[in-house]
Structure 1
Amino acid sequence: MAIEVITREDLNEFRTLLLADLSEMFNSKPQQQKQWLKSTEVRKLLNISPGTLQNLRINGTLSYTKIGGIIYYAYSDLMKVLEENKVDATVTLFNPKWLVR
């Protein structure tokens, strides 16, 4: 049975390599988003039902392209709709009534 001794230098080298690997992971370019998404992908992305997606198409909220029987949505259109409907948070201070006298 062989015993290996781990020194502080070994741990420091391991730490440096680990930090370099983590930094590379976090700073790497994210995976390219597909330009066109099918209905199932849009429903998963937005966590909505087929009926809700249909309503978004019918009322003109979300533009689409239909080729054959397949409906496609532009990813940029989805992001634009989300951005247009974004509600900014308002800053409020926690002020419970029982503390105020």
Structure 2
Amino acid sequence: MAAEVITTDDLHEFKLELMDEFRKLLSEQKGVSTKKWLKSDEVRKLLGISPGTLQNLRVNGTLPFTKMGGVLYYDSQDIHSILEQNKIS
């Protein structure tokens, strides 16, 4: 069985390739929230809607939410699934 020698140049090249892959993954995630729970202001910024519109989505049952200590939280997965359900082809 032959042994393969890894040089510092090989490691440097591997590091550069790995960093490029990380950059690509991060750029693909740009604008997509990675948090599980979002607050009202984050949801409004994400959807580009006013506080009144967000309230209407809550009141009519379109957007589920959780309230803890006076703070409203929205599941990011719920938001994405609602957007997918209402997508026009």
The answer to whether the superposition gives a TM-score over 0.5 is: yes
User: TM-score by structure 2 length?
Assistant: 0.68
Give % identity. Answer: 53
Q: In 2, Cα distance between the equivalents of 1:68 and 1:25?
A: 38
RMSD: 2.8
Q: Residue 38 of structure 1 aligns with which residue?
A: 39
2:60 is the alignment partner of 1:59? yes
* Structure 2 counterparts to residues 20-99 of structure 1, below 5 A: 20=17, 22=20, 24-27=22-25, 30=29, 33-88=34-89
Which stretches in structure 1 are left out of the alignment for 5+ residues? 1-18, 89-101
Taking structure 1 as the reference length, the TM-score comes to 0.61
- What amino acid maps onto 1:63 in structure 2? P
Give the counterpart letter for 1:46 in structure 2. Answer: L
Label 1:24 to 1:69 Cα distance change in 2 as closer, same or farther (>3 A): closer
Equivalent residue, structure 2, for 1:12? none
Which 5+ residue runs of structure 2 have no aligned equivalent? 1-15
Superposed displacement of residue 27, structure 1:
4.3
Counterparts of 2:60 and 2:86, CA distance in 1: 15
Residue type matched to 1:42 in 2? V
Instruction: Between the two structures, name the one with larger relative contact order (CA 8 Å, sep ≥ 6).
Output: 2
